[in-house]
Amino acid sequence: MDQHTQVLIVGGGIIGVSVAYYAARAGLQVTLLERHRLAAGSSFGNTGLLTLCDSHPLAVPGSAWKGLKWLLQGRGPLYIHPRLDARFWLWLWRFARSGGDWETFRRGWAHNLALSRLSLELYEELVEQEGLPVRLYRAGVYHLAYTPEAWEETRRLVHEAQALGLQAHMLPPAEVFARLPHVRAPVVGGVFCPEDAHVDPAALVHALADRARHHGARIHEGVEVLHLSRNDARVTQVWTTHGVFHADWVVLAAGVWTRVLAQSIGISLDLEPAKGYSLTLRRPENAPPVALLLDEPKLAVTVFEDRLRLAGLLELSGMDPRLRWERVRHLMDAANQYLHVDTSAVLGVWRGWRPCTAHGRPYIGRAREVRNVVIATGHCTLGMTQGPATGRLVVDLILGHPSGLDMQLYAF
């Protein structure tokens, strides 16, 4: 396999497939390379949330102290594996600083929100106009707080969300229980975000890939990129396990592995892999009919046609592939403690790395050092939410079209 293509995309998750779809629809010759299978990484095991209310940076003001408490207790949704890595500790310091005050946090939320709003509009277009054969669950998302401290933080986030023009409605405990009999006491308060939705993430990626193929994209699974050859300010060859590719444009959309590929051609990305976990269960008869975010255990719950998914946790342990069973147990215990749901029929356990930037915004843009390379990564927990918008923005950059967004916000 030794061939030329106009646009070569590395990575077969929601970001890479979105780029492939919009590039092929624009009439470009497109080739996508995925080293395993489509949607085999974070696009497989996440909850599929499409969220505006939760599009803020991960580092909420005050979260550093809460994280320290969880670490000292030796349990909870956050785990940091100490290691002698100056780059990691610098990233962690920048991450904490990004949530140091509400003004900085508010700006980061607004910047992410522009991308998320565009993406949700594109999801509607994909389903309604393109006929993408996936179901958008448009019932909204409920945020539930179980302690006074969590409720105070949630109330502040609601005020910030409303100031940004989002619909976020606070609910007293009685109304929470009336709407959600699946929830156990004691709920201190809840918030309903009617604009949010969710989707089966793997089904979405495969459906979008099929539409990209329909428009002419060539998608190769089981092809690993081994080396990028750079000549002056261009990548001239992409060496893979199945031959050499030549491309006018190379799009690096390989999640956490983008950092390694970019570094090999002199591009430095301030990315850190954040491991997340999920449990997929056979959908019980008493499953909640809507998506839930439990703010104290940091547990996300989504329901699909025949499955229920529990996901959460943030583990900063580098690229350590180990699955820590105490983290899996945290998900199960939280579900049993806070929900009236049968969790006995486990279909699968997943863990994977989410590419996180320190400031909480993704990297989307052309590389200054290498003129024909575009970076699209760093979405952390918002990859599904922001995937289609990222794909369209990348294609706008390639074609030289105005995007309508301030692309400097996503520079690296």
Summarised one tens digit per residue, pLDDT across range 352-373 is: 999 999 999 999 999 999 999 9
| Cα–Cα dist 349/347, whole Å | 7
Number of domains in the chain: 1
Residue 49 is assigned to a structural domain of this protein: no
Closest CA to 42 of 378, 317, 340, 268: 378
pLDDT at 49: 98
| Cα–Cα dist 166/110, whole Å | 11
Residue 212 is assigned to a structural domain of this protein: no
Which residues constitute the domain of residue 181?
Answer: 60-84+135-197+271-355
pLDDT at 383: 98
Residue 345 is assigned to a structural domain of this protein: yes
Query: Global pTM?
Result: 0.96
| Cα–Cα dist 356/378, whole Å | 5
Residue 389 is assigned to a structural domain of this protein: no
pLDDT at 10: 99
How would you classify the pairing of strands 30-34 and 189-193? unpaired
Q: Which amino acid is at 94?
A: R
Closest CA to 30 of 19, 38, 40, 39: 19
Is a pLDDT exceeding 80 seen at residue 70? no
More confident residue, 278 or 68: 278
Closest CA to 47 of 356, 229, 294, 315: 294
Instruction: Write the secondary structure of 22-82 as one string of H (helix), E (strand) and C (coil).
Output: HHHHCCCCEEEEECCCCCCCHHHHCCCEECCCCCCCCCCCCHHHHHHHHHHHCCCCEEECC
**For the purposes of burial, counting CB atoms within 10 Å of the CB of 327, is it exposed (0-12), middle (13-18) or buried (19 or more)?**
buried
Place of tokens 């109304």: 175
Residue 217 is assigned to a structural domain of this protein: no
Residue 55 is assigned to a structural domain of this protein: no
Predicted confidence (pLDDT) per residue in 128-169, tens digit? 999 999 999 999 999 999 999 999 999 999 999 999 999 999
The reply to whether omega before 133 is within 30° of 0 (cis) is no
Is a pLDDT exceeding 60 seen at residue 99? yes
Cross-strand partners of 183: 339
| Cα–Cα dist 221/357, whole Å | 27
274 CB-side CA count, 13 A: 24
Q: Which two tokens stand for residue 332?
A: 């199960």
Q: How far is CA 250 from the centre of its chain?
A: 22
Q: What is the CATH number of the domain that holds 144?
A: 3.30.9.10
- C-beta neighbour count of 385 within 10 angstroms: 28
Predicted confidence (pLDDT) per residue in 193-243, tens digit? 999 999 999 999 999 999 999 999 999 999 999 999 999 999 999 999 999
Mean pLDDT of the chain: 94
Residue 129 is assigned to a structural domain of this protein: no
Residue 333 is assigned to a structural domain of this protein: yes
Instruction: Write the secondary structure of the chain as one string of H (helix), E (strand) and C (coil).
Output: CEEEEEEEEECCCHHHHHHHHHHHHCCCCEEEEECCCCCCCHHHHCCCEECCCCCCCCCCCCHHHHHHHHHHHCCCCEEECCCCCHHHHHHHHHHHHHCCCHHHHHHHHHHHHHHHHHHHHHHHHHHHCCCCCCCCECCCEEEEECCHHHHHHHHHHHHHHHHCCCCCEEECHHHHHHHCCCECCCCCEEEEECCCEECCHHHHHHHHHHHHHHCCCEEEECCCEEEEEEECCEEEEEEECCEEEEEEEEEECCHHHHHHHHHCCCCCCCEEEEEEEEEEEECCCCCCCCEEEECCCCEEEEECCCEEEEEEEEEEECECCCCCHHHHHHHHHHHHHHECCCCCCEEEEEEEEEEEECCCCCEEEECCCCCCEEEEECEHHHHHHHHHHHHHHHHHHHHCCCCCCCHHHHCC
Q: Which two tokens stand for residue 194?
A: 């009617």
Predicted confidence (pLDDT) per residue in 232-266, tens digit? 999 999 999 999 999 999 999 999 999 999 999 99
R_g (Cα) of the chain, nearest Å: 21
| Mean pLDDT along residues 84-91 | 92
pLDDT at 250: 99
